[in-house]
């Protein structure tokens, strides 16, 4: 609850137009996901297909599935705080969305209503349908007035739960601190700037940058020789000076980057 309260406080400090836009975006996404999950639970064929797909995935693959869902959710939150460069593409396959929504429902049932899954598999859809209906009934009055806290809190709790699930399920060494390369799109978008004053050193090669030479400027405004920074960014997505993170094509790396943006902004808003 502490993480939820911290993030909620920072988001609530947004200017009213931004907060309204955020609430609208979240409400739209949640509504779409609820409709899709209701369709899965009301159709034996859709439920069987999603369940079969989940059974075919390994634990790391399930972690990646939740990771992509988390990444999409983090992008909605962080783009209203400090617009980041475009993230990895969101889920595009309906099969993946169906599977991750059902997987998250399984996790929720396992935590709060384990008896629902202690029955034969043929009864799971009926039990989950009942739990899902009860949950929606409990939330229906919340959305009528579009109270910001009532919409933001469940969404933030879902984000935090997904992050914990990815951390607990990741079997591929995706712990924080591992190095990932910057995405090609982010590198290609880096601007060229001209050195206008002498005495500036490239911290990678330790040589002075000549006046009039084109160099690379990162979003944190640190500059480097192109032939120095490009090999660096092919192995890691951090600035050599300040550890600012550029976008990457690695799902877990992007989750870490956007989570840091969220936490840093929350700390700034709360005066930490």
Same domain? 125 vs 259: yes
242 is a domain residue: no
Based on the domain organization, do 111 and 195 belong to the same domain? no
Q: What is the per-residue pLDDT across 161-176, written as a single tens digit (0 to 9) for each?
A: 898 888 766 544 444 4
Looking at the DSSP assignment, which residues form a beta bridge with residue 194?
A: 214
Q: Report the 3 state secondary structure along 64-112.
A: HHHHHHHHHHHHHHHCCCCCCCCCCCCCCCHHHHHHHHHHHHHHHHHHH
Q: Assess if residue 240 is contained within a domain.
A: no
User: In this structure, are 122 and 101 located in the same domain?
Assistant: yes
Mean pLDDT of 21-32: 89
Any idea what the CATH number is for the domain that residue 227 is in? Answer: 3.30.40.10
On whether residue 85 sits in a domain, the answer given is yes
pLDDT at 13: 75
Structural domain boundaries enclosing 212? 184-233
Domain total of the chain? 2
Q: Does any domain span residue 244?
A: no
pLDDT band at 138 (very low <50, low <70, confident <90, very high): low
Lowest mean pLDDT of 39-43, 92-96, 261-265, name the range: 261-265
Distance CA 58, CA 109 (A): 21
**pTM as predicted:** 0.77
């Amino acid at each position: 609850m502490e993480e939820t309260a911290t993030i909620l406080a920072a988001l609530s400090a947004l200017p009213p137009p931004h907060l309204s836009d955020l609430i609208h975006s979240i409400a739209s996404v949640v509504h779409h996901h609820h409709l899709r999950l209701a369709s899965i639970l009301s159709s034996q064929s859709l439920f069987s297909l999603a369940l079969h797909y989940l059974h075919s995935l390994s634990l790391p693959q399930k972690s990646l599935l939740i990771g992509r869902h988390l990444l999409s959710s983090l992008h909605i939150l962080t783009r209203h705080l400090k617009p980041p460069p475009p993230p990895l593409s969101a889920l595009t396959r309906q099969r993946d969305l169906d599977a991750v929504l059902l997987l998250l429902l399984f996790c929720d049932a396992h935590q709060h209503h384990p008896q629902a899954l202690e029955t034969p598999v043929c009864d799971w859809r009926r039990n989950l349908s009942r739990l899902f209906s009860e949950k929606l009934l409990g939330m229906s009055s919340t959305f009528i007035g579009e109270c910001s806290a009532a919409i933001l809190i469940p969404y933030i709790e879902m984000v935090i739960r997904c992050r914990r699930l990815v951390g607990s399920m990741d079997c591929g060494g995706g712990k924080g601190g591992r190095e990932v390369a910057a995405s090609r799109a982010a590198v290609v978008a880096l601007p060229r700037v001209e050195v206008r004053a002498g005495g500036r050193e490239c911290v990678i090669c330790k040589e002075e940058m000549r006046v009039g030479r084109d160099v690379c400027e990162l979003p944190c405004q640190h500059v480097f020789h192109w032939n120095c920074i490009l090999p660096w960014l092919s192995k890691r997505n951090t600035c050599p000076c300040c550890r600012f993170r550029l976008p990457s094509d690695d799902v877990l790396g992007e989750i870490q980057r956007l989570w840091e943006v969220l936490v840093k902004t929350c700390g700034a808003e709360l005066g930490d």
